[in-house]
Every structure is written in structure tokens, then in C-alpha cells.
Structure 1
Amino acid sequence: MNFSQNQDKCEWFAIFTKPRSEKKVYERMQQHEIHAFLPVVKTVRQWSDRKKTLELPLIPSYIFVYMEEKDLYKTLPIQGTVSVLKHLGKPARIRPVEIENLRILSSNSESHEVSNCINVTAGDDVEVINGPFMGLIATCIKEGSNHRVVVKIDSLGSCFNVNIPLSFLRKLEKKEFIKA
């Protein structure tokens, strides 16, 4: 990885790839010494004659790069890369807390059942303080008798539902969430 860049000016950006070529693009970026991140999750696929555990991208067709905005052009010639995700005509910056949430989700994608309840309501921002998702910043939702947290990646307009025991959660004050 090329860390000779000025780390103070580096930010996270999303690179859009051709469908089902995220892993190859990720490998090519590493060969070009580009600091890239591809969040993957393990999933079991079943065919009529067998089951197989696969690693699939958490967000299909996206890879995240950590670099200066002026260097994003270096990603475009890499085979399988389509474009840089843009917002209002400029490269969309991905917040570090969103990258950290993706890291936590991809490191352990198991579902967790609800146990004890804490005093959170739908729409409250929470932090996971225990278990494999510790450190995750999310929004709590309620559906019927189930409680879940939704991990939002606002920069991409994506969200993920994760079942986590509410006893593993701590309610965040609005000012705490904004700082993250």
C-alpha cells in the first residue's frame, strides 16, 4: 500500500465497479498500491446437491478507497472500475464512522436474537457496547415484537438490518452521533 501520501488529506471514497468483479478490482487496486477496502460477508448458498459457504461483497459493485481526492483518477484505468460515486457533481466522501461500521458488519455477519430490553424507541441512535458488533453506530427500529438496529451508510443511501440484543446497546445523545 502506498502510504507516502499526505495522510491528513486522505479521505474515503466509493468506487463503482462492474457487477460481480469487486474482488478482482480489489486485487488490482492492491497491485497498484491503492489503499482499498472491500467489505465482504460469508453466506451459505444451497444448490440441489450441496451447500457452499461464499464470501460476497456486503455492498455489491462498490469498493472503498482511502486517498486524496486529486488522486482518484488513478483508480479509473483499473480493469473493472466503472466510476467514482459522486454527489452534487463531486466525488462523494464516505465518513470514517461509516467505513468503521462496514468493517464491523463484515467481520461478523451473524444475526443475534433479542434478549433484555433497554429504553430505546424507534429512531434512536445507538452504539453497540458488547458482542461481536461492539463499536457499531446505528439507528434502532421496532417491528412488531422484534427489536433491530439499522446500520445506515448515508453516503451510499444504503442500510442494513442487524438483530442485536438490546442489552448490548447504549443510547446515544444526538450530539454524540454528530461527532462520530
Structure 2
Amino acid sequence: MTHAFHWLALLTRSNFEQVVFEQIAKKKIDAFLPKTKKLSRRKDRKKIIEVPLFPGYLFVKSSMDPGCQLTVLKTLGAVRFLGNDQGPIPVPETQIHSLQLLTAADCDLVTGVCSRLTQGDPVIVMEGPMAGARGEFIQYRGKGKIIIKIHLLGQYAGVEINENQVEKIPHHLS
């Protein structure tokens, strides 16, 4: 019997995201740890460092088979999969793909009024390094720039992008 594989959100111990990611990769299991760059201020210097986009979480591609999930959960620093009483809840492939495009685009990630777009409209990036990413329109920044966000884990990752690179997705297709 073949098991379908899904992306699952894995909660890790505090500051263990990279350790868990590396250990899971050694087990030949697909994992994704989205990161962003941030300015770290030290007493004597400032440095750009990479930090997890969602502190305490990473994504693992696993079947819904408890044996496969146990292999992941036995990893040092792994806590549990996000889910409910029925088990882990898969993260839609489109959200992971959008997040991979977002982090690979090396854009300035942000957390955080056009007649064509209304706040909350589903959008897709049509061109540029993030082409294919799906998200939600958040706000206008002026000078043709907008912010879109990608929902994940009750949080969001946002990016500033040119308005002309984004198209609204009709609600019946989103």
C-alpha cells in the first residue's frame, strides 16, 4: 500500500529549528526550514544573520502513517506535529510552494488603497523571482508597491512587491 505524503508543520524546542532540520535531512526525509535575514545588533558590531521565518517551526514531508511520523518525532529537539485529536493537519502544497518562492526570492520580508485590490483579496504573483506564489493582498505601500502575505501556522510572512507583478485570483478559483 502506498501512502500519500503531505507537508506537516513540526513544532521544535526553542532555538532547535536548525538542529532538527539537519537531523531530519540525515534521515533522508524532505524538510523545509524557511528563513529570513535580519540585522543582529551586538555591542561592538552589526551583522546580518539568517533566522527562522516561523520561530519554533519547520515543515516535514511525511505520510500520515504513524510509523513514519514517529521516525520524525524521535529526532532530538522535535516536539510534535501541529494538528488535532485526529492527528497532524497537512499544510497545503500551494502554501509551501509559495513560501519556498518567497524565501528564495531574497526579498525584504515584512510582517505586518487600490481600486483593483481590496484587503484580503487572494492574489498570485505573475512575474519576477516569486512567480507562482499565492498569497493575500494586505496593503498599498505607495509608488506602485504592495504587500502580500502568505498564511501559515496562524502567522504570516509578507513581502513588498510591485503591484503590476500581481493578479487577483477570482474567489471561485482560490
TM-score computed with the length of structure 2 as normaliser: 0.85
Deviations 1:8-45 (A, max 9, x none): 61111111100111101111111122211111122221
What SS does structure 1 have at the residue aligned with 2:28? coil
Cα root mean square deviation, aligned: 2.3
Q: Which has the higher strand share?
A: 2
Aligned to 1:12: 7
Indicate the residue corresponding to 1:110 in structure 2.
107
Letter in 1 for 2:38: T
AA paired with 2:9?
A
- How do 1:95-174 residues align onto structure 2 when only pairs under 5 Å count? 95-111=92-108, 119-142=116-139, 147-153=146-152, 156-174=153-171
Preserved contact between residue 53 and residue 157 of structure 2 (Cα < 8 Å): no
Displacement of 1:110 in angstroms is 2.1
Distance in 2, Cα, partners of 1:36 & 1:149: 25
1:35 aligns with 2:34: no
Q: How many residues align?
A: 166
1:95 maps to a residue whose letter is P
5 Å-filtered alignment, 1:45-56, equals 45-56=40-51
Q: Give the match's secondary structure for 2:156.
A: strand
1:143/1:171 Cα in 2 relative to 1: closer, same or farther (>3 Å)? closer
TM-score, normalised relative to structure 1 = 0.82
**Which sections of structure 1, spanning at least 5 residues, go unmatched?**
none
SS of residue matched to 1:14: strand
Q: CA offset at residue 108 of structure 1?
A: 2.6
**Structure 1 segments of 4+ aligned residues over 4 angstroms from their partners:** 143-146
| C-alpha displacement of 1:144 | 8.0
What is the percentage of aligned positions where both structures have the same residue? 28
Letter in 2 for 1:166: E
Q: 2:20 aligns with which of 19, 25, 38?
A: 25
The one-letter amino acid paired with 1:159 is Y
Task: Give unpaired runs (5+ residues) of structure 2.
Answer: none
The answer to whether the 8 Å contact 1:111/1:164 transfers is no
Is the CA contact (8 Å cut-off) linking 2:141 and 2:147 kept in structure 1?
Answer: no
Alpha-carbon distance in 2 for matches of 1:96, 1:35: 13
